[in-house]
């Protein structure tokens, strides 16, 4: 009877709107520590925007589909599926609150992207075209040193003048982005992306398409034996990411039981990252009911820095190093554009059974010219990228509250990589996860992104234990411990060693007030120079974060955060802290949204830096590192005067009272204040 009354009460709760769901994206970003990976954010937002038009049916969706919601952990999804199996189909989204571990905040996060019962599209959906146009301008002030003009008279020698001219930014100090997307929900979609970073020029020899970066795709979904065909640019997500994975990737985070990857296979590429994509043709085929096959061929030119010819080798060889910044602002940077030829092909076969899923993947790629492995000790196992072949097997299975998943891969150079996880959710209000990974020091895949301490998924062994508990309905506890070791030198760690990481977070919700405390302790081996010798020492970084989110009134919400960090390395002890106040406003009719922040930070150096997510324009990204002493404030506006048009504006200022110049080299400015401005318009037809 109590459950029936509870459900009846839930039905009168108002539905959160679409804008509220996207406004909580910062929680996902902060929880997954993806501050340095802009393409991950854009990939995630694209998925959520798509789900607003095609929400997930929670009565029929499997684990992989529910994983696209991002805000739910693997254990919560397990509990949802178990509840549905025992109690039957959901009749209202609010019934998800009866699932162990799903809170009111979780429901608010996912409600815009889910549905119950059959989905009834409009009668014209099969032939209706949906169009989206997005244009953005972004600039910073004052001008950086790279925009300075030089006179020949200011230089004694011609060579010095020419050297300066080679490094001067050729384009305007304004970044531009244009996106166009055309979709027929039932059959096909197409997209075009044009992007220039600030300082990059238009219609030059290296930008002969007008913009510096051009990406386009056309995707067909015949839904017969051939399920999907993509021509143009696309991304790839296979297995647990040991041989191929691009786009959003779960990993170590305070969402401690979200470390299993659930890939989408091939998918259109819509991001602005100029490196992590494939270009060519890809097919998804269903030759049988439980069998899925994917095959692709990709060829594109990639940026690289050509090195001097090795005339001492038996054959004169040209080698190169990858250039992955995406910047082509001056002559020196433009000379690195499209110097490498990248050929990639692969095949995936997956068997989807009721009780298990198993897949086999094969990948081949070749770079021409070859990549240089480098001269540093930590680069000795780098690959040349020439005729690399990899194969892997991945699996997923479970029963009786246990769930197993993993992938094992082998490279043609004889090296191996494996990751295997076990999740258990049989104890009420408690879920556990254990994960083991072993990546040989010589194992390499240019496209991988597996669960690891570093992003290159190599030279590492680790043991991970995670816990997620909801002892009471308004309390959630997340914690994990990860111990890892390296087999050979790494960057800043010439002597191989071991490290560990411990993270814990507790969240308390009382009515509409949310309190959270987070602690992180990270201990890694790093070099320490004494005279002319190196020794390995522990580099320790600790972070403490206290946050309160509360409503001021119906339309206004506030957030207060205090963060403190400690950096310890031998006799070097540094600290830093960050304090900020946020206000988030949403008008009654949802036509205007605004976020405002005032922050003060003070750290001893960059070592004690603190990251904090900032609200931004749609598809925009901002996760800056606060360091030294200063103030930061920004205003982010989202105005929708008409149903089809949305205007965006973000304006911010950072003030360093103790500085007279900021940054260095080409990005240096002779001021102690930095202004940033972003303008954007989105038209949805």
pLDDT given for residue 36 in this prediction: 47
pLDDT at 461 over 50: yes
pLDDT at 120 over 70: no
pLDDT given for residue 279 in this prediction: 97
pLDDT given for residue 3 in this prediction: 43
Of residues 39 and 139, more confidently modeled: 139
| Distant-in-sequence, close-in-space partners of 322: CB < 8 Å, separation ≥ 6 | 302, 303, 304, 305, 340, 371
Answer for the pair 227, 382: CB distance below 8 angstroms, yes or no: no
Rounded to whole angstroms, the Cα distance separating 427 from 448 reads 34
Query: In the structure encoding, which two tokens stand for residue 239, read together?
Result: 């297995």
Residue 208 binned pLDDT confidence (cut-offs 50, 70, 90): confident
Rounded to whole angstroms, the Cα distance separating 415 from 495 reads 21
Answer for the pair 291, 349: CB distance below 8 angstroms, yes or no: yes
pLDDT digits 0-9 by tens, 153-180: 888 888 888 888 889 999 999 999 999 9
pLDDT given for residue 317 in this prediction: 66
E-assigned strand segments in 156-252? 174-184, 188-196, 213-220, 226-237
Q: Considering only 84-93, 100-109, 447-456, 662-671, which range has the smallest mean pLDDT?
A: 100-109
Q: Considering only 20-29, 94-103, 262-271, 667-676, which range has the smallest mean pLDDT?
A: 20-29
- pTM value > 0.75: yes
- Over residues 7-36, mean pLDDT: 45
pLDDT given for residue 119 in this prediction: 52
**Positive/negative CA dihedral, 86, 92, 93, 96:** negative
pLDDT at 310 over 80: no
Residue 1 binned pLDDT confidence (cut-offs 50, 70, 90): very low
* DSSP secondary structure letters along 72-112: S-HHHHHHHHHHHHHH---SSGGGGGGSTT--HHHHHHHGG
Q: Which residue has the tokens 């008409």?
A: 642
Tell which phi-psi region holds residue 88, choosing left (phi > 0), alpha (psi between -120 and 50) or beta.
left
Q: Considering only 26-35, 161-170, 304-313, 493-502, which range has the smallest mean pLDDT?
A: 26-35
Of residues 400 and 125, more confidently modeled: 400
Of 676, 681, 685, nearest to 654 by C-alpha is 676
Rounded to whole angstroms, the Cα distance separating 254 from 270 reads 28
Query: In the structure encoding, which two tokens stand for residue 99, read together?
Result: 């699932």
pLDDT digits 0-9 by tens, 227-276: 899 999 999 999 999 999 987 766 677 676 778 888 778 999 988 889 88
- Over residues 27-48, mean pLDDT: 63
pLDDT at 314 over 70: no
Separation of first and last alpha carbons in the chain: 48
Q: Which residue has the tokens 């993806």?
A: 34
pLDDT at 602 over 50: yes
Q: What is the greatest pairwise CA distance in the chain?
A: 91
pLDDT digits 0-9 by tens, 522-544: 999 999 888 778 888 999 999 99
pLDDT digits 0-9 by tens, 462-491: 999 999 898 988 899 999 999 999 999 998
pLDDT given for residue 106 in this prediction: 78
Burial 108-124 (b: 16+ CB within 10 A, else e): bbbbbbbbbeeeeeeee
Instruction: Give the DSSP H/E element, type plus range, for residue 351.
Output: strand 340-352
Answer for the pair 644, 638: CB distance below 8 angstroms, yes or no: no
Of 623, 603, 605, nearest to 615 by C-alpha is 623
Query: In the structure encoding, which two tokens stand for residue 659, read together?
Result: 């500085």
- Over residues 583-591, mean pLDDT: 89
Query: In the structure encoding, which two tokens stand for residue 149, read together?
Result: 């003009």
| % of the chain at pLDDT higher than 90 | 53
Look over the chain and give the mean of its residue pLDDT values, rounded to a whole number: 86
Taking each helix axis from N to C end, the angle separating 38-53 and 25-32, rounded to the nearest 10 degrees, works out to 140
Rounded to whole angstroms, the Cα distance separating 242 from 257 reads 19
Select, from the ranges 35-39, 306-310, 619-623, the one with the highest average predicted confidence (pLDDT): 619-623
| % of the chain at pLDDT higher than 70 | 90
pLDDT given for residue 123 in this prediction: 46
pLDDT given for residue 18 in this prediction: 35
- Over residues 272-283, mean pLDDT: 93
């Amino acid at each position: 009877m109590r459950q029936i009354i509870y459900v009846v009460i839930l039905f009168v709760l108002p539905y959160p709107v679409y804008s509220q769901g996207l406004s909580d994206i910062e929680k996902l970003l902060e929880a997954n520590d993806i501050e340095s990976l802009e393409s991950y954010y854009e990939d995630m937002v694209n998925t959520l925007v798509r789900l607003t038009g095609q929400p997930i049916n929670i009565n029929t969706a499997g684990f992989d589909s529910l994983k696209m919601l991002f805000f739910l952990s693997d254990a919560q999804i397990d509990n949802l599926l178990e509840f549905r199996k025992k109690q039957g189909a959901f009749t209202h989204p609010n019934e998800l609150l009866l699932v162990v571990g799903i809170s009111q905040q979780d429901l608010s996060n996912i409600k815009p992207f889910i549905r119950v019962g059959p989905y009834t599209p409009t009668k014209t959906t099969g032939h209706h075209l949906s169009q989206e146009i997005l244009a953005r301008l972004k600039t910073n002030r004052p001008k950086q040193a790279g925009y300075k003009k030089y006179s020949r008279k200011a230089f004694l020698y011609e060579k010095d003048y020419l050297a300066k001219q080679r490094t001067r930014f050729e384009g305007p100090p304004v970044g531009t982005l244009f996106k166009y997307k055309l979709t027929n929900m039932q059959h096909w979609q197409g997209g075009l992306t044009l992007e220039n970073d600030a300082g990059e020029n238009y219609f030059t020899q290296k930008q002969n398409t007008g913009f510096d970066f051009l990406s386009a795709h056309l995707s067909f979904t015949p839904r017969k034996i051939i399920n999907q065909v993509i021509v143009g640019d696309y991304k790839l997500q296979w297995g647990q990411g040991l041989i191929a994975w691009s786009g959003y990737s779960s990993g170590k985070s305070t969402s401690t039981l979200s470390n299993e990857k659930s890939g989408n296979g091939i998918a259109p590429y819509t991001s602005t990252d100029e490196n992590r994509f494939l270009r060519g043709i890809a097919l998804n085929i269903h030759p049988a009911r439980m069998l899925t096959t994917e095959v692709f061929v990709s060829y594109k030119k990639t940026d690289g820095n050509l090195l001097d010819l090795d005339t001492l080798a038996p054959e004169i060889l040209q080698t190169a190093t990858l250039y992955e910044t995406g910047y082509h602002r001056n002559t020196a940077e433009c000379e690195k554009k499209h110097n490498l030829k990248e050929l990639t092909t692969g095949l995936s076969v997956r068997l989807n059974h009721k009780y298990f899923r198993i897949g086999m993947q094969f990948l081949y790629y070749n770079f021409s010219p070859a990549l240089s492995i480098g001269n540093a000790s930590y680069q000795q196992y780098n690959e040349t990228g020439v005729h690399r072949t990899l194969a892997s097997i991945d699996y997923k299975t479970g029963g009786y509250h246990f769930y197993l998943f993993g992938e094992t891969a082998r490279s043609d150079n004889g090296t191996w990589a494996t990751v295997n996880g076990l999740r258990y959710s049989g104890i009420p209000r408690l879920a556990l996860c254990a994960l083991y990974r072993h990546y040989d020091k010589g194992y390499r895949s240019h496209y991988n992104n597996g669960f690891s301490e570093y992003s290159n998924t190599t030279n590492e062994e680790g043991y991970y234990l995670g816990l997620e508990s909801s002892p009471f309905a308004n309390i959630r506890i997340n914690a994990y411990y990860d111990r890892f070791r390296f087999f050979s030198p790494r960057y800043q760690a010439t002597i191989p060693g071991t490290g560990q990481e411990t993270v814990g977070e507790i969240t308390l919700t009382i009515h509409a007030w949310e309190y959270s405390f987070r602690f992180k302790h990270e201990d890694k081996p790093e070099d320490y120079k004494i005279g002319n010798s190196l020794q390995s020492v522990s580099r320790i970084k600790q972070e403490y974060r206290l946050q309160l989110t509360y409503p001021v009134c119906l339309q206004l919400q506030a957030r207060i955060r205090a963060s403190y960090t400690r950096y310890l390395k031998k006799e070097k002890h540094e600290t830093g802290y960050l304090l900020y106040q946020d206000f988030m406003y949403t008008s009654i009719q949802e036509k205007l949204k605004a976020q405002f922040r005032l922050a003060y930070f003070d750290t001893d150096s960059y070592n004690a830096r603190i990251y904090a997510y900032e609200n931004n324009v749609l598809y925009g990204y901002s996760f800056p590192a606060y360091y030294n002493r200063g103030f930061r404030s920004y205003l982010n506006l989202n105005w929708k005067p008409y149903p089809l048009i949305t205007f965006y504006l973000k304006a911010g200022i950072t003030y360093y009272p103790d500085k007279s110049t900021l940054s260095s080299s080409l990005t240096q400015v002779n001021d102690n204040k930095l202004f940033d401005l972003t303008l954007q318009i989105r038209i949805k037809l």
